[in-house]
Amino acid sequence: MIHDFTYLQPGSVKEALAMLAEHKDDCKVICGGQSLLIVMRQGLVQTEYLIDIKGLNELNYIKYDDKGGLKIGATTTHRAIEKSDVIAKKYPVLVDMEHKLASIQVRNWGTIGGNLAHADSAGDPAPVLTALNATVKVGSAKGERTIPLDEFYTDLFETAMEPGELVLEVQVPAPAPKTATAYQKFNLLESDQGIVAVAVSITIDAGGTCKEARIVLGNAASTSIRAKNAEAVLVGKKLTDALFEKAGEAASQECEPVGDIHASEEYRRHLIGVLTRRMAKAAFEQAKKMG
């Protein structure tokens, strides 16, 4: 049962931030509501004020240029990302990720800002965007700031945002030369949340040596996490199947999964190892084909 609340619908971002400043101690922001309404209906979240930003078209955009990279407004839907030509060309892994995210009905209504702010460790976008070195721009009535996505999450359903702050934009740098990113999740039901997930970004030089690696694990701890020990296995080396296997073993050791009715901790660690090995190799093979 959802408890009574006062519904607020700002007409602009400025008005939304003013409402947040006024009611920051007892309000929630709703956009798509694909996650928030569920926990409200379950009685896990109660609020006096609900601020609906779904209609703020000034936050609904996808922009790209080679200097500034990709900018996605917070109220942009998953479906818009999935169908974007520029994203398909420059960041195909984001399109692949969106194909795996829930159902088409959810993607038609749910938004990228709401997904990231909800901070569910099993969410699909966070591992991929973290592997792409994304940042999140947040704003309040006092001003704006940017937070690297790998510093954005502090715990399950918790972020580094302060009371009164709102996600405004996702920023992804332009892809470096010979860089590729691969993502896969393991789930029992199609379109369900992943039991675990892995995103890997690999950058190689002209000789095939790994210049940079970003390995991000989803649903393998209370937040999505960088597997930095696994990354260190790859960086500065000529990549081989043996190294991919070693990176997978490292990732399986540094993750912190929790067993549940879907999979034990041991099985989740095994899956992390397998997916890390596979995604690292897939990203490497893609990077080799780039000019």
- Residue range 57-172, CATH number: 3.30.465.10
Check: CB of residue 141 under 8 Å from CB of residue 23: no
Q: Torsion-angle region of residue 119: left (phi > 0), alpha (psi -120 to 50) or beta?
A: left
Among 30, 286, 17, 38, smallest CA distance to 166 is for: 17
Check: CB of residue 149 under 8 Å from CB of residue 135: yes
Report pTM.
0.96
Q: Which long-range contacts (CB under 8 A, 24 or more apart) does 190-193 make?
A: 191/100, 191/101, 191/102, 191/103, 193/120, 193/122, 193/123, 193/219
Helix, strand, coil tally for the chain in percent (to 5): 35, 25, 35
Whether CATH 3.30.43.10 fits 6-52: yes
For residue 14, what are the contacts with CB-CB under 8 A and spacing of at least 6? none
* Domains 6-52 and 57-172 belong to one CATH topology: no
Residuewise pLDDT in 10s, the chain (291 residues): 788 999 999 999 999 999 999 998 899 999 988 888 888 888 888 999 999 999 999 999 999 999 999 999 999 999 999 999 999 999 999 999 999 999 999 999 999 999 999 999 999 999 999 999 999 999 999 999 999 999 999 999 999 999 999 999 999 999 999 999 999 999 987 778 899 999 999 999 999 999 999 999 999 999 999 999 999 999 999 999 999 999 999 999 999 999 999 899 999 999 999 999 999 999 999 999 996
Whether CATH 1.10.1740.10 fits 179-288: no
d(CA 271, CA 195): 9
Residue type, 265: E
Check: CB of residue 47 under 8 Å from CB of residue 62: no
Q: Could you tell me the residue ranges of all domains in the chain?
A: 6-52, 57-172, 179-288
Beta bridge partners of 197: 185, 218
